[in-house]
Amino acid sequence: MSRGSPPRRYALDASPLLGRRTGIGRYVEELVDHFVPLLCEDERLTLFAGTFRQNPLFGISHEPLTRRARADRRVRVRRSWLPFSVLRTGWNLLDWPGVDRLAGRPHVFHGTNYRLPPPGRAAGIATFHDMAVLRYPDTVPPAFRQWFRTTVDAAARRASWIVADSDASLRDTLELTDADPERITSIPLAVSEAYLVPGDRDQDRRHIAERYGITQPYVLYVGTTHPRKNLPRLLDAFAKARAAVDLPHRLVLVGDKGFGSGDVQTRVARLGLADTVSLPGYVPEDDLPRFYRAADLFAFPSLYEGFGFPVLEAMATGCPVVTSSVSSLPEVAGDAALMVDPLDVDGIAERIEQVLTRPELAAELRELGREQAARFSWQRTAEAHVALYRRLAEESEA
């Protein structure tokens, strides 16, 4: 930009920063925190969110946004007076309201969670994290499936550029939407710093035992109970492995309930695993690294992932990993995990047995996992986004 010209303005949907952290929330948090230091003096970043997210009675406020704005004068916050439910409906059905009204006429607006408002004069970027709803449509209610289809179709039509979290997600986006193959790229994510800090496994185990009552060695899973996470087959495989070699381990399923959670409870009861499966539900972000470090194995035979944060988190903490050989997971795991066909219950059971009965294999996977996780960097993720923002802003100014 020439000296004396007005600042270049970027804006992004920061709504996932608010409330309890999810995978998309971690993406936005790390992106913003690594993006801001890369801004030039003549660049500004606006964090946008709708009003439905600011009620502290539900553990939700705009404080994560305003705190970042207070810390850097180049960062600003814009809040719509419209409830977010109204905004979503308006964007999908009415092409209203647009980015200029919502975010102060930015040069670039980034929809970080599939949704992209009508961009007007701005260049619009939409991040499509995965196409699970379209790839496995029978695993979600019809109304949600239709809402998702409408949302991604509108975003693909409006976007100047689409970002996918992995090459696998990029391929699915091109297959299942009308995205322009010349205007899409994959930018891999990374693991938060908290998972890279060495810990004391004995201390972590004591913490897990005291806080969650889990005193036995355990196999860990982190994620929702959504059908595509393949928990019924994981439960079947765990039961087989435990019986085959008389393992003392529990299976610990950490995460919020999703569609199909009743199937998990039913399968636990049918397999007679009620006394050996723990379901602590959602756990605080600070406790997740402890759960990984204290585990003897992380098992994640998911049918489909757009990236696979839990696999990278487990490897970063030095936890051996068994995961699926499908979708994005081979990209994330590389050669640092035991891969398995997620439909093969016997194969999953065999991999669990191998890690839990062969200490030398577990030690090798711990080392390989740490090396693999170190290959991913939020700094590089942010740099790739900044370069894209600047290129699109230059195109819009030309």
pLDDT given for residue 314 in this prediction: 98
The answer to whether residue 50 scores a pLDDT higher than 90 is no
pLDDT digits (tens, 9 = 90+) for 165-213: 999 999 999 999 999 999 999 999 999 999 999 999 999 999 999 999 9
Q: Label residue 343 by pLDDT band (50, 70, 90).
A: very high
162 and 209 in a single domain? The answer is no
Is position 213 within any domain?
yes
Q: Rounded to an integer, what distance in angstroms lies between the CA atom of residue 179 and that of residue 160? A: 10
Q: What is the mean pLDDT of residues 59-79?
A: 85
- Residue 269 in any domain: the answer is yes
Both 174 and 246 in one domain: the answer is no
31-40, 137-146, 298-307: least confident range: 137-146
Q: Quick one: pLDDT at residue 53?
A: 46
**Model pLDDT for residues 114-126, shown as the tens digit of each residue:** 999 999 999 999 9
Please give the pLDDT value at position 95.
85
Residue 3 located in a structural domain? no
93 and 218 assigned to the same domain: no
Same domain, 132 and 220: no
Q: Residues 127, 268: one domain?
A: no
pLDDT, average across residues 81-94? 82
208 within domain boundaries: yes
* Per-residue pLDDT, 79: 84
Confirm whether 366 is domain-assigned: yes
Note whether residue 2 is domain-resident.
no
Q: How much of the chain exceeds pLDDT 70, in percent?
A: 95
Identify the domain containing residue 60 by its residue range: 8-190+377-397
Within-domain flag for 118: yes
> Residue 280: is its pLDDT beyond 80?
yes
Tell me if 185 is assigned to some domain. Answer: yes
Does the pLDDT value for residue 101 go beyond 90? no
Under the banding of pLDDT at 50, 70 and 90, the label for residue 5 is confident
pLDDT score of 84:
74
Residues 205 and 236 occupy one common structural domain: yes
Domain tally, the chain = 2
State both tokens at 43.
């660049």
Q: Is residue 229 located within the same domain as residue 323?
A: yes
- Is there a single domain that holds both residue 310 and residue 367? yes
pLDDT at 147 over 60: yes
Is 180 in the same domain as 241? Answer: no
pLDDT band at 30 (very low <50, low <70, confident <90, very high): very high
Same domain assignment for residues 177 and 278 = no
Question: Based on the domain organization, do 65 and 169 belong to the same domain?
Answer: yes
CATH number at residue 78: 3.40.50.2000
Q: pLDDT at position 83, please? A: 75
CA-based nearest residue to 298, from 355, 256, 371, 357: 355
Question: Which has the higher per-residue pLDDT, 260 or 244?
Answer: 244
Question: In the β-sheet with 218-222, what is the strand arrangement from edge to edge?
Answer: 277-281, 250-254, 218-222, 297-300, 321-324, 338-340
> Are 145 and 239 members of one domain?
no
> Average pLDDT of the chain?
92
> Which residue is listed with tokens 């070699």?
245
Mean pLDDT for the stretch of residues 42-56: 75
